């Protein structure tokens, strides 16, 4: 598979939200801006991990390229300040490692072992930073790439992210991050053509 041909599957499999779930969210509101008493910078900064953390995940990916939704499970490991590893263990094994500006993708079933630079693939970076900058507690980087709308209250909140760059808007329509207190529980991503994914972070692995 060529590097160019790899980018589209990577953006889908790393995140990517169906209209069904989008319309059903109970916390969505049209108003923009942070909810009174819930400050964006303070909340995101409070999410910062001081030590490596491993979390189990379940992800459902929706795409016109798939005959049915793809369900995967595995572990997500974040090592401060900028290393993120996504290890898919079921129904197959794949590994994505993002360290700084570099991405390593390994897949035996695809016979792929690729090293990419996020600087060369803005589509990948816009997806990556939605998760990495949130888990890393980096509001400055989030605001560099996205217009952020924070809703709810500390016990249950929703962060809506919409790309600022017009070129990125053609690739990513929105990313919605759900959380409870100082923990991210789910991330929904939607592309303009209706593809997307729901990533549920289920529990921290000891």
Looking at the predicted structure, is the pLDDT value of residue 168 above 50?
yes
Domain that holds residue 185: 3-205
- 183 with 177: CB under 8 angstroms? no
pLDDT for residue 37:
64
pLDDT for residue 19:
30
Q: Which pLDDT band, with edges at 50, 70 and 90, does 204 fall under?
A: confident
Q: What percent of the chain has pLDDT over 70?
A: 82
- Angle (nearest 5°) at CA 135 between 75 and 163: 110
Considering only CA atoms, which of 83, 155, 160, 169 is closest in space to residue 126?
Answer: 169
Check which CATH number belongs to the domain holding 155 and give it. Answer: 2.50.20.10
Alpha carbon distance, N-terminus to C-terminus of the chain: 37
Q: What's the pLDDT tens digit per position in 15-30?
A: 432 332 333 333 333 3
- How far, in Å, are 72, 76, 87, 185 from residue 204 at the CA level? 17, 9, 14, 11
pLDDT for residue 177:
95
Q: Where are the alpha helices (DSSP H) in the chain?
A: 3-14, 19-24, 40-46, 122-135, 139-145, 166-169
**Number of structural domains in the chain:** 1
What is the three-class DSSP state of 17? coil
Average pLDDT over residues 122-135: 85
Sequence-separated (6 or more) residues with CB below 8 Å from residue 199: 15, 57, 58, 59, 131, 186, 187, 188, 189
Q: Mean pLDDT across the chain, nearest whole number?
A: 82
Average pLDDT over residues 100-125: 88
CA distance 2 to 115: 12
Sequence-separated (6 or more) residues with CB below 8 Å from residue 175: 15, 127, 130, 146, 160, 161, 187, 188, 189, 190
Average pLDDT over residues 171-182: 92
CA distance 160 to 174: 7
Q: What's the pLDDT tens digit per position in 50-91?
A: 788 899 999 999 999 889 999 999 999 999 988 999 999 999
pLDDT for residue 3:
43
The pTM of this model reads: 0.79
Average pLDDT over residues 39-45: 91
């Amino acid at each position: 598979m060529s590097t160019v041909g790899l980018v589209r599957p990577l953006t889908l499999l790393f995140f990517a939200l169906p209209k069904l779930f989008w319309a059903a969210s109970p916390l969505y509101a049209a108003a923009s801006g942070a909810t009174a008493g819930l400050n964006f910078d303070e909340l995101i900064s409070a999410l910062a991990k001081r030590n490596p953390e491993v979390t189990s995940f379940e992800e459902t990916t929706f795409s016109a390229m798939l005959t049915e939704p793809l369900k995967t499970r595995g572990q997500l490991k974040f090592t401060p300040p900028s290393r993120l590893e996504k290890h898919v263990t079921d129904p197959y094994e794949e590994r994505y490692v993002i360290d700084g500006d570099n991405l390593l993708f390994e897949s035996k079933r695809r016979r792929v072992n690729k090293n990419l630079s996020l600087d060369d693939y803005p589509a990948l970076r816009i997806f990556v930073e939605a998760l990495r900058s949130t888990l890393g507690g980096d509001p400055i980087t989030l605001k560099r790439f996205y217009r952020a709308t924070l809703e709810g209250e500390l016990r249950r909140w929703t962060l809506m992210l919409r790309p600022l760059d017009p070129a990125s808007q053609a690739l990513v329509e929105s990313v919605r991050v759900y959380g409870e207190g100082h923990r991210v529980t789910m991330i929904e991503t939607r592309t303009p053509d209706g593809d997307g994914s729901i990533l549920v972070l289920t529990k921290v692995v000891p």
